[in-house]
């Protein structure tokens, strides 16, 4: 979902500066090679930086490799692998499919990713397409259990976002007050 960054929002103080874009979102892996194969060879995100580093702490050195896979806007998904995984927090496996990273793409890119996933052995239950009405999404888990969504917005998304922006606070307050009626009339089952 992308709105215009110049839109004035009555709920944000005038003149408040916002970050321009995501720089990177970092995760931990125990298998950088499987992670690289997935993101570079299957998904198509180029490996653009690899930092082999040592952080010096009073009680120990933390030795790790930090890789960056670039998105189309220059931001990146990044992964750490530590020399001593036991000395670092364990890799968190997400158990809810609602916890995910959504990446915007056009339909040909989404279909190419789906083809590459199928070619790599991902079944229809491993890589799932879902029509939300306002976007169509491809869901898949990476080798680390991180849930990814590759999203294609519908052509009239700017108008949909304009309507959503006008009612976002009202809908939130209604929902929090106990009225859980769906407001997504764009889903295929509602058309």
pLDDT tens per residue, range 82-95: 998 887 776 667 77
pLDDT tens per residue, range 42-95: 999 999 999 999 888 888 888 999 999 999 999 999 999 999 888 777 666 777
d(CA 28, CA 85): 10
Closest CA to 41 of 175, 143, 162, 181: 143
Closest CA to 74 of 22, 122, 25, 112: 22
What domains does the chain contain, in order, with CATH numbers?
Answer: 10-92 (3.10.180.10), 94-191 (3.30.720.110)
pLDDT, mean of each 10-residue run, the chain (191 residues): 54 76 89 96 96 89 92 94 81 77 94 96 95 94 92 92 89 90 84 55
């Amino acid at each position: 979902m992308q709105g215009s960054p110049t839109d004035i929002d009555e709920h944000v103080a005038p003149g408040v500066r916002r970050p321009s874009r995501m720089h990177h979102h970092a995760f931990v892996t125990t298998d950088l090679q499987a992670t690289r194969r997935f993101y570079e060879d299957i998904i198509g995100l180029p490996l653009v930086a690899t930092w082999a580093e040592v952080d010096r702490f009073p009680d120990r050195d933390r030795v790790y490799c930090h890789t960056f896979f670039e998105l189309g806007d220059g931001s990146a998904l990044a992964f750490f692998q530590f020399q001593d995984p036991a000395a670092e927090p364990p890799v968190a496996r997400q158990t809810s499919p609602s916890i995910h990273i959504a990446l915007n793409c056009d339909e040909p890119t989404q279909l190419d990713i789906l083809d590459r996933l199928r070619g790599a052995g991902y079944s229809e239950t491993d890589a799932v397409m879902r029509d939300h009405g306002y976007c169509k999404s491809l869901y898949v888990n990476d080798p680390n259990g991180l849930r990814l969504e590759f999203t294609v917005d519908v052509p009239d998304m700017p108008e949909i976002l304009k309507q959503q922006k006008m009612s976002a606070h009202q809908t939130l307050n209604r929902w929090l007050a106990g009225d859980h009626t769906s407001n997504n009339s764009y889903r295929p089952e509602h058309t």
